[in-house]
Amino acid sequence: MLVLVTYDVSFDSENGKRRLRQIAKICQDYGIRVQYSVFECDVDPAQWIKFKQQLFNVYDKEVDSLRFYKLGKNGQKKIEHHGAKPSFDLFKDVIIL
Amino acid sequence: MLVLVTYDVSFDSENGKRRLRQIAKICQDYGIRVQYSVFECDVDPAQWIKFKQQLFNVYDKEVDSLRFYKLGKNGQKKIEHHGAKPSFDLFKDVIIL
């Protein structure tokens, strides 16, 4: 099933940049980065449980936000993209919130 | 129907910050900001056409990215949120890509 993962990681708290990199790295193991903090992940139910747990182990639930959108089996049909494709470097570009 | 709008706006080109504010403002007219560049918008087909055109009038297709995810009528059931709710100021916080 296709799951969209979006996240905001706060830099107000300590280790924000590290958490951001770790979250992006975990998502990269399960899917494709389509925007800076947006990943499209095609996972089976068992992978999904493992994937979520890895994210929960890293993110700071007080200040970070994780959102999951279950797009289902033919999720690709529900997606429209306009404009530039991602070309940023995962670890180079930093977001300051 | 519920549509998820996500975007990346590049600051490499001129007026990036202005486009970012304009895009966020347009999205705010049609939906709720759930993360920095993620909006959930409940629109009918006519509104959707108008909404998209407003976004296309602002974004720079060479360097910005707009993604739309049609979550459908009972889209809310497909959403999972974990962690902090958004608390940023729309115009205060700047993203440097």
Question: Which chain B residues have a beta carbon less than 8 Å from that of A59?
Answer: 82-83
Pick from B42, B61, A31: nearest CA to A6: A31
Going by pLDDT thresholds of 50, 70 and 90, the confidence category of residue B87 is low
Pick from B55, B69, B58: nearest CA to A67: B69
B14 three-class SS: coil
Of A25-29, A88-92, B15-19, B66-70, the least confident: A88-92
Measured between alpha carbons, how far is A37 from A16 in angstroms, rounded to an integer?
Answer: 14
For chain A, what is the HEC assignment?
CEEEEEEECCCCCCCHHHHHHHHHHHHHHHEEEEECCEEEEECCHHHHHHHHHHHHHHCCCCCCEEEEEEEECCHHHHEEEEECCCCCCCCCCCCCC
The stretch B4-33 carries a mean pLDDT of 94
Q: Which of residues 13-72 of A touch B (CB under 8 A)?
A: 34-38, 56, 59-72
Rg, C-alpha atoms of chain A: 13
User: Does A92 have pLDDT greater than 70?
Assistant: no
Query: Per the structure block, which two tokens stand in for A25?
Result: 């790295």
Question: Which chain B residues have a beta carbon less than 8 Å from that of A3?
Answer: none
Query: Per the structure block, which two tokens stand in for A43?
Result: 């996972």
What does the pLDDT read at residue B20? Answer: 96
Which of A62, A64, A71 is opposite residue B69, by nearest beta carbon? A71
Element containing residue B73 per DSSP (H, E): none
CA distance B44 to chain A (A): 16
CA distance B17 to chain A (A): 14
Specify the higher pLDDT residue, B92 or B28: B28
Average pLDDT, chain A: 88
User: Does A87 have pLDDT greater than 80?
Assistant: no
Read off the pLDDT of residues A38-85 as tens digits, 9 standing for 90 and up: 999 999 999 999 999 999 999 999 999 999 999 987 888 999 999 998
With 0.80 as the threshold, say if the pTM is over it.
yes
User: Does A89 have pLDDT greater than 60?
Assistant: no
| DSSP designation for B70 | E
Model-level ipTM above the cut of 0.90: no
Q: Do B6 and A35 touch (CB under 8 A)?
A: yes
